[in-house]
């Protein structure tokens, strides 16, 4: 690769970099190679900043973090320091107000993070109570479980849209959020690195597995689809689309190593 070209990796977490136990161990070789090459790895997830900060520290990352499905961008003030947070879209307080008002008025059957205790969320997700607490510290999104009919869900989503709130399917939950998405997060990250190193031609590689990753994948130069062990796979339209050979972190590892072997 020429000196003026660099790869920028932007990745989803659950069922992509992380396996069903929330481990990235199987991706260790590729993560180490990225670190050796000095290539940025950006986490772009529905998770909260509180959750992702710990993971970023474990991975020794100093890249920006895109949290809550593009709802916020966090940039480290200095290496290993605190993050400056920019909220994009609709604040969570407004989302909860609109959703709960509709539930009260129309009797829609759903429940979300705001309805559950830390203990209940831990039981539902397999997180520890401490991890659940961090997962509930949201600023721009509300994950919910929809327990009603599809017809009612469509009506609920249409009513929320009037207030600029979208209902987007994730890997495990439906996410109520503003108009910002993971693609906006990817664009903000690209702009950040372009400002930092304006002479570099950044080649953006995005990795994801679910419907709420599609826009992010389509905003990248290279889209890597992480397959599921069963069920349908997403089919993003990007300049180049690669299919990882395995699900979750094992597939992530193989795909990233393949790209690095090709470009570096």
CATH of the domain at 78: 3.40.50.1000
Same domain, 197 and 83: yes
Identify the H or E element spanning 96: helix 92-106
Residue 77's pLDDT band, with cuts at 50, 70 and 90, is confident
Are residue 108 and residue 236 in the same domain, yes or no?
no
Residue range(s) defining the domain that contains residue 221: 5-87+191-263
* Residue 5 pLDDT exceeds 70: yes
The model's pTM is: 0.82
- Based on the domain organization, do 80 and 109 belong to the same domain? no
13, 125: one domain: no
DSSP letter for 21, please.
T
Whether 97 and 79 map to the same domain: the answer is no
Residue-wise pLDDT tens digits, 94-141: 999 999 999 999 999 999 999 999 999 999 988 899 989 999 999 999
Asked if residue 184 is part of any domain, the answer here is: no
Outline where DSSP puts E strands in 12-121. Answer: 41-44, 65-67, 72-76, 83-87, 110-112
> Are residues 65 and 99 located together in one domain of the fold?
no
The tens digit of pLDDT for each residue in 196-208 reads 999 999 999 999 9
Nearest Cα neighbor of 219 from 176, 187, 180, 172 is 187
CATH value at residue 124: 3.30.980.20
**Quick check: is 183 in a domain?**
no
- Quick check: is 186 in a domain? no
The predicted pLDDT at position 34 comes to: 98
- Same structural domain, 195 and 73: yes
């Amino acid at each position: 690769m020429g000196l003026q070209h660099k790869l920028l990796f932007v990745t989803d977490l659950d069922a992509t970099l992380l396996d069903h136990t929330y481990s990235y161990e199987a991706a260790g070789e590729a993560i180490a190679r990225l670190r050796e090459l000095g290539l940025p790895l950006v986490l772009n997830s529905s998770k909260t900043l509180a959750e992702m900060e710990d993971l970023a520290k474990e991975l020794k990352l100093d890249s920006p973090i895109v949290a809550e499905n593009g709802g916020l961008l966090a940039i480290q003030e200095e290496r290993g320091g605190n993050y400056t947070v920019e909220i994009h879209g609709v604040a969570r307080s407004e989302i909860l107000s609109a959703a709960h008002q509709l539930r009260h008025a129309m009797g829609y059957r759903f429940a979300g993070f705001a309805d559950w205790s830390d203990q209940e969320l831990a039981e539902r997700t397999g997180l520890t109570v401490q991890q659940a607490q961090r997962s509930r510290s949201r600023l721009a999104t509300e994950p919910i479980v929809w327990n009603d009919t599809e017809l009612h869900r469509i009506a609920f989503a249409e009513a929320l849209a009037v207030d600029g709130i979208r209902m987007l399917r994730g890997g495990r939950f439906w996410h109520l959020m503003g108009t910002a998405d993971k693609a906006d997060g990817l664009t903000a990250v690209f702009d950040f690195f372009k400002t930092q190193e304006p002479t570099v031609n950044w080649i953006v590689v995005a990795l994801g597995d679910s419907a709420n990753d599609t826009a992010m994948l389509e905003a990248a130069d290279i889209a890597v689809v992480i397959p599921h062990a069963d069920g349908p796979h997403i089919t993003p339209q990007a300049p180049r689309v690669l299919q990882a050979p395995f699900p979750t972190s094992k597939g992530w590892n193989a795909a990233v190593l393949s790209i690095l072997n090709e470009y570096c």
